[in-house]
């Protein structure tokens, strides 16, 4: 098989044709003929039939939003989550401070201290969501996959502070034990079920 066909980028020649558009009528008699042909050719009934067919097919595409929600992809960057280790249940954050350093809108604040085992412990952690631009650098830089972006996009509340506390973002320990914490698939992960929507890209024009 030769590649001649695929290398031919001259799309205007092969199989394309100009759509036959009539000239706009100049005279009154021409206008009348156009109206008469458009009225009597049955074009109006084609329109009626199309909408009636759709009504009887009843193929409704409405998503009734508060009751139904569309799935969102793992790349979506909504309000942050802090994850726990699956085995021990302790928080993954090691207090390295990389997220605080890299945050370009300067909205992450953290305080750490050494605990009795000489391990770093996070004492204060907050994200000012009034400044956060949801760029995702904090999740990208985190060496422990501790801070990730969640899918909670409905962040209307009485106060911004309702989202910013470390405890609010941390997976609750009982939710972890119930197996509700899901591992972050990482950047570039594909949307679940996207295999089905993949189509072969037509190479030839």
Which residue from 15, 28, 179, 188 is in contact with other proteins, where contact means CB under 8 A?
28
> What letter would DSSP give residue 30?
H
Q: How many residues contact other proteins, by CB under 8 A?
A: 18
Quick check: 189 binds other proteins (CB under 8 A)?
no
User: Helices marked H in the chain — which ranges?
Assistant: 4-7, 28-40, 43-57, 98-102, 137-141, 161-164, 166-169, 173-177
Nearest to 166 by CA among 114, 99, 66, 72: 99
For the bound state, the minimum distance from the C-beta of residue 153 to other proteins, rounded and expressed in Å, comes to: 21
Q: Which helix (H) or strand (E) holds 120?
A: strand 120-127
Calculate helix-pair angle for 43-57, 28-40, nearest 10 degrees: 30
Residue 26 contacts other proteins per CB under 8 A: no
55, two tokens:
């009504």
Site track 140-179 with other proteins (rule: CB under 8 A), x = hit? ----------------------------------------
Query: Do 102 and 141 form a contact (C-beta atoms < 8 A)?
Result: yes
CB of residue 21 vs other proteins: minimum separation in angstroms?
17
How far, in Å, CA of 107 to CA of 144, rounded?
20
Q: Which of residues 45-64 bind other proteins (CB under 8 A)?
A: 47-48, 50-52, 54-55, 58-62, 64
Cβ 154 to other proteins shortest distance, Å: 18
- Span from 31-39, 108-116, 128-136, 146-154 in contact with other proteins (CB under 8 A): 31-39
Per CB under 8 A, residues contacting other proteins are 28, 31-32, 35, 44, 47-48, 50-52, 54-55, 58-62, 64
């Amino acid at each position: 098989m030769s590649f001649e066909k695929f290398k031919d980028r001259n799309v205007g020649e092969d199989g394309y044709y100009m759509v036959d558009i009539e000239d706009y009528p100049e005279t009154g008699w021409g206008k009348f003929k156009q109206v008469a042909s458009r009225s009597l050719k049955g074009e109006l009934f084609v329109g009626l039939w199309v909408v009636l067919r759709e009504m009887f097919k009843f193929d409704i595409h409405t998503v009734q939003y508060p009751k139904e929600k569309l799935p969102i992809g793992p790349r979506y960057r909504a309000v942050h989550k802090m994850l726990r280790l699956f085995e021990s249940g302790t928080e993954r954050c090691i207090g390295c401070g990389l997220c605080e350093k890299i945050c370009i809108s300067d909205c992450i604040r953290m305080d750490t201290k050494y605990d009795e085992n000489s391990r770093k412990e996070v004492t204060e952690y907050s994200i000012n969501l009034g400044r956060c631009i949801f760029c995702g650098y904090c999740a990208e830089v985190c060496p422990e996959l501790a801070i990730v972006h969640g899918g909670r996009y409905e962040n209307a509340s009485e106060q911004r502070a309702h989202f910013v506390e470390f405890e609010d973002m941390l997976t609750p320990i009982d939710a972890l034990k119930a197996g509700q914490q899901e591992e972050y698939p990482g950047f570039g992960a594909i949307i679940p079920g996207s295999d089905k929507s993949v189509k072969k890209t037509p190479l030839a024009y």
